[in-house]
């Protein structure tokens, strides 16, 4: 499936599987409430468990989160790349994807697929690893569960993946808190 077709599916509330620069992901357009609800159903994800937003530029990141000086510094140093920053969400971001403190995880992935999808959408993708809850995050398409593949609206079969999940840092407080350690060391 090409990017143009995938963008149309996402705009219409669909859910796609695609490679990122770390693991394979599954996602929906951030502007699609229907798509986000479908994503949670497909993943069997707990309703109160936050998800990240993949973006294709710093301006898209700033659209969804309030970046303090530390968040800006880390984003400039590691983006595009395997770092997810949790920052206070801007007003209007779907509350379903936020953590209990009103934070949103944002990552600018270092892959053309995600960048092209975000540019085509004019916004972010609510995304998580392309596995069912409790399964290991897939590093290639062959590792993506057929159960999950049967539930999504499409797959972009262009390369990527092959690494650990991104490092996730919580920047909601005064100190940097590592929520998940990946290949990026902050």
Mean pLDDT, each 10-residue run in order, the chain (186 residues) = 95 97 96 96 89 97 97 97 98 95 96 95 97 89 94 88 87 92 90
CA dihedral of 137, 177, 185, 55, whole degrees rounded to 10 = 60
For residue 89, which of 30, 146, 148 has the smallest C-alpha distance?
Answer: 30
Q: What is the phi-psi region of residue 66: left when phi exceeds 0, alpha when psi lies from -120 to 50, beta otherwise?
A: beta
In a domain, 122, yes or no: yes
Q: CA distances (Å), 9 to each of 32, 33, 85, 169, in order? A: 11, 14, 27, 31
- The per-residue pLDDT for 161 is 66
CA dihedral of 133, 136, 139, 140, whole degrees rounded to 10 = -70
In a domain, 136, yes or no: yes
- Angle at CA 133, nearest 5°, toward 137 and 159? 30
Question: What CATH number corresponds to the domain at position 143?
Answer: 3.90.870.10
H helix or E strand, kind and range, residue 115 = helix 112-121
Number of domains in the chain: 1
What's the token pair of residue 15?
């859910």
Q: Which residues are registered as beta bridge partners of 17?
A: 26, 155
In a domain, 52, yes or no: yes
- The per-residue pLDDT for 115 is 94
What is the Cα–Cα distance from 172 to 133, expressed in whole angstroms? 26
- The per-residue pLDDT for 21 is 92
In a domain, 81, yes or no: yes
Q: Are 27 and 11 in contact (CB under 8 A)?
A: no
In a domain, 163, yes or no: yes
Range of the domain at 119: 3-180
Unique residue bearing structure tokens 């990527």: 160
In a domain, 185, yes or no: no
Query: Residue 105: how many CB atoms within 10 A of its CB?
Result: 28
In a domain, 186, yes or no: no
What is the Cα–Cα distance from 169 to 114, expressed in whole angstroms? 21
- The per-residue pLDDT for 46 is 86
């Amino acid at each position: 499936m090409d990017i143009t077709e995938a963008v149309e599916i996402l705009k219409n509330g669909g859910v796609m599987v695609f490679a990122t620069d770390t693991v394979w992901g599954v996602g929906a357009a951030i502007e699609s409430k229907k798509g986000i609800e479908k994503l949670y159903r497909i993943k069997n994800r707990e309703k109160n468990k936050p998800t990240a937003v993949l973006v294709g530029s710093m301006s898209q990141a700033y659209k969804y989160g309030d970046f303090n000086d530390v968040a800006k510094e880390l984003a400039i140093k590691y983006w595009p790349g395997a770092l997810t920053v949790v920052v206070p969400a801007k007003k209007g971001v779907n509350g379903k994807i936020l953590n209990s403190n009103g934070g949103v995880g944002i990552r600018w992935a270092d892959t053309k697929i995600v960048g092209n999808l975000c540019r085509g959408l004019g916004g972010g993708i609510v995304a998580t690893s392309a596995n069912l809850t409790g399964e290991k995050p897939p590093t290639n398409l062959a590792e993506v569960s057929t159960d999950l593949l049967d539930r999504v609206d499409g797959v972009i079969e262009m390369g990527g993946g092959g690494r650990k999940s991104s490092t996730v840092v919580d920047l909601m407080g005064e100190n940097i808190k590592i929520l998940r350690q990946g290949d990026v060391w902050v």
